[in-house]
Structure 1
Amino acid sequence: MVKIHIKKGDESQFLYEIPVDTPIDDILKNITCIYNGRLKIQRLCADVEDLAQHGITLPPNMQGLTEEQIFELKLKDEWEDKCTPSGGYEETKDKYGRRNGKAPNKKMQEVLNKTCKEAKDMISKKKVEINEYVTQATITEAISILKGAVTIVYPMGLPPHDTVKHELENTEDLSGTQASQEVIEEPNASLWWAGKEMLRGKKLSDFVGKNDKTKIVAKLQKKGQGAPSREPVVSEEEQKKMMAYYYKKQETFKKLENDNEDAYMDAPWADSNQLKRQFHGIRDVKF
């Protein structure tokens, strides 16, 4: 199995494993699914954390309004009583005016926040460092545990306009948001390795050879963006170690020079040719 370290730009994403004779089309399909799945979990966790802190989302016509404006317009959230958290709620205020401010109690908040942490750990970029893979099954499991936690805290369900509900039911609308810029649809995806694009219609072995125990770093991006930057010859960590080594070596050399009994020979007054250069008018010439 070929181990592929997937990057987006210079940022690590996840490790992916695939047989060497796999078509590039299949690889792109799987990789974009995992990549977009990770983005979805990140969005979902952010929304679930907001849900834990400030309760359900207000209806669109009430979002961003002050309490006085809501009172003057005689608006009412019909989902407020239908979608109460299990165990009751506590009053909080959402400074952005997106949620109703009736958060779950501390115990239920802990359920949601703990599950978010678990889901984020499952798709963390740190998995690259510990040599663990992220698969489509990982994405499915992470979404499943988040859905389970939301169901425990809100057994009556969430309002149809709540962002958490849309994410869980795959009905989210990302148009016009920054999140939409990050998503890479499979038909518009391209994969690059060693400065070359891995073209569709070919197999992985056409690019990396037939060795099934190869490890490569490949970069995922949208089509039409040109070739991504090449990987540095040495990593940032290796570069830091090299600089520290040479700095230490330089300091040691300086110390040896200071301890040298003949160090005075480098002083101007010890130069036997100084008088000769002075007569020839080349005293300050640097060699």
Structure 2
Amino acid sequence: MVILQVKRGDESLFLYETSVADKTDGVIRDLVAIYNGRLKVQRVCMEMEELAEHGTMLPSEMIGLNDDQIEELKLVDIWADKCIPSGGFQFNKDPMTRRNGQQPKEHMQKVLENAMNDAKAMIDKKNVGLKKLMTLKIIEEALNILRGAVMIVYPMQLPPHDSIRMEFTNTEDLTGTQASKEVLEPSKAQLWFAGRQILNGKTLSEYLGTNDKTKVVVKLNQLGEGPPGREAVISEQLRQQMMADAYRRQEELKTLKIKSLRLKE
């Protein structure tokens, strides 16, 4: 099987196993799904950190308002009494005024924290991303761990407008957010190898050759971004080693020259 080292720009993200006989359509679809799935896990973990600190998300009409404004407008969070964390809560006001301040008790915070740590470790390139193959199954398992922890702490579920619940049901709206710039749109996603775009309707062998026991670098980008930069002919580690060898050789030549001059004297 051929191993694809998947990059976005100059950043290495994960390894993916496939075959040169596989259709390019399926490979590109899987790579985009894994890429976007990793981003989803990261987004959910970020929101779960806020959930553990400040409770469930306020209705959209209350976000950003202070207490006086909420009272003046007679707004009420009808979900506050419906979505109380298991074991009760302690009040911890959200300085960003996005969440209702009903922080879960410490032992329930720990449930969320442990799940986040486990999920992050499953997709973190520093831990496994460039050592262990990444699959859609791993992404789904990471999301299930997060989903399970939220269900333990909030057995009645989160409010329907909470971003975490929306992520779990794939109804999230990322419009206008930084996250929207990171996600790849499947219909516009592109895969490149050695300066060539890998097109749909082909087999990988048309681009990678017939050797099914190799490892290559491929790059994901989006229509309109233009071709990604080519990979360096040599790695940065090898370049530094070559420079060190050249410097050492230069010093050796200097030493030999000095010895030669002394002999002549």
TM over 0.5: yes
Partner AA of 2:97 in structure 1:
G
Gaps of 5+ in 2: none
Query: How do residues 1-287 of structure 1 correspond to structure 2 at under 5 angstroms?
Result: 1-126=1-126, 127-130=128-131, 132-247=132-247, 256=255, 260=259, 262=261
Contact 1:91-1:101 within 8 A present in 2 as well = yes
CA RMSD of aligned residues (A): 2.2
Q: Distance in 2 between matches of 1:86 and 1:251?
A: 70
Q: Which has the larger radius of gyration?
A: 1
Equivalent-residue separation in structure 2 for 1:244 and 1:107 (angstroms):
53
2 CA distance for matches of 1:224 and 1:77?
A: 43
**Cα deviation digits, residues 129-178 of structure 1 (max 9, x gap):** 32x11111111111111000000011121111110110011110112222
Superposition TM-score, scaled by structure 2 size: 0.91
Q: In the superposition, relative to structure 1, how do residues 239 and 54 fare at CA in structure 2: closer, same or farther (>3 Å)?
A: farther
How high is the sequence identity, in percent, across the aligned residues? 50
Q: How far is 1:195 from its partner?
A: 0.9
1:257: how far off?
A: 7.4
How far did 1:53 drift?
Answer: 1.2
State the AA in 2 paired with 1:217.
V
What is the identity, as a one-letter code, of the residue corresponding to 1:156? M
**For 2:210, what is the secondary structure of its paired residue?**
coil
Q: Are the structure 2 counterparts of residues 258 and 6 from structure 1 closer, same or farther at C-alpha, using a change threshold of 3 Å?
A: same
> 1:4 touches 1:15 (CA, 8 Å); kept in 2?
yes
Q: Deviation of residue 37 (structure 1)?
A: 0.8
Partners of 1:137 and 1:121 lie apart in 2 by: 15
The Cα shift of 1:225 comes to: 2.4
Q: Specify whether residues 262 and 194 from structure 1 end up closer, same or farther in structure 2 by C-alpha distance, changes over 3 A only.
A: same
Quote how far apart the aligned CAs of 1:251 are.
5.7
Alignment check: 8 A CA contact 1:257 1:263 kept: no
Which amino acid in the other structure matches residue 171 of structure 1? T
The answer (yes or no) to whether the contact 1:16–1:133 under 8 Å persists in 2 is: yes
Q: Answer whether contact 1:64 1:98 (CA < 8 A) is retained.
A: yes
